[in-house]
Structure formats: C-alpha cells, structure tokens
Amino acid sequence: GAVVSQHPSWVICKSGTSVKIECRSLDFQATTMFWYRQFPKQSLMLMATSNEGSKATYEQGVEKDKFLINHASLTLSTLTVTSAHPEDSSFYICSATNPGLGTEAFFGQGTRLTVV
C-alpha cells in the first residue's frame, strides 16, 4: 500500500527556535496533504490542508505565520513551527491523498515535538 513517511519521529528544541517537519509520500503522488496536531488523550485536530503548488488553507484559530506549510512537490510537504514555545509541544501528524488511489487517506507515523 501507499506509504507516507514523516521525519523526524521526535524532536526536542529550545524555546524561540524553529523546527521543520517533513512529510513524504514514498510511492505515490500526494495531490493533497493534511497536517494535524494531537494533544495527549485527544483527537487529531486539523491544522491545515495543502494542495501541491497552492497555498495552504488553515483552519480557524491556526496561525499561518507560526505554522508555515509548504507543499512544493507532489511527494513532499513541510511544516515549520516558527519561534516554538512550550505550548507548541504536541504530536504532529500528516496525511496524504490522491483521488486516483481511491478514497483512502494515508498517514505518517507522526512527529513528537517537545519545546523546552
């Protein structure tokens, strides 16, 4: 089946620094990618939706200048958490879809971000 890979799996950074998380579709072209944030014992919260070559569409309450999303190619999307603070510590998950592959969404393994 289609594989989505996230990197890194976990990262610890200092408050005020920026962190980039990569999401790659390894064996298919991802026309749409979704980025989620998940806090402990909560559901996945959609942050933004991005289509290749277009600007990302952010959900209400998600700061686009803080969470920079780039979907420059059909196999790669990146999420950059700028000027990270401890409250940004969370589990970040990406998902990729391609209508040609049917109606299933493919998820990465997630990235655990800890801001100290």
Partner 1 sequence: LAKTTQPISMDSYEGQEVNITCSHNNIATNDYITWYQQFPSQGPRFIIQGYKTKVTNEVASLFIPADRKSSTLSLPRVSLSDTAVYYCLVGDLRGDSSYKLIFGSGTRLLVRP
Residues within the interface to partner 1 (CB under 8 A): 4, 6, 31-32, 34, 36, 43-46, 49, 51, 57, 91, 93, 95, 97, 99, 102-110, 112
Q: Find, among 115, 112, 116, the residue nearest to 21 by Cα.
A: 112
Q: Compute the least distance from the CB of residue 18 to partner 1, in Å.
A: 23
Q: Compute the least distance from the CB of residue 30 to partner 1, in Å.
A: 12
Helix (H, G, I), strand (E, B) or coil at 18: coil
Which one, 68 or 101, has the nearer CB to partner 1?
101
Q: Compute the least distance from the CB of residue 11 to partner 1, in Å.
A: 14
Which one, 30 or 84, has the nearer CB to partner 1?
30
Contacts 24+ apart (CB under 8 A), 37-43: 37/90, 37/91, 37/92, 37/93, 38/90, 38/91, 38/92, 38/93, 38/110, 39/90, 39/91
Q: Compute the least distance from the CB of residue 96 to partner 1, in Å.
A: 10
Which one, 82 or 91, has the nearer CB to partner 1?
91
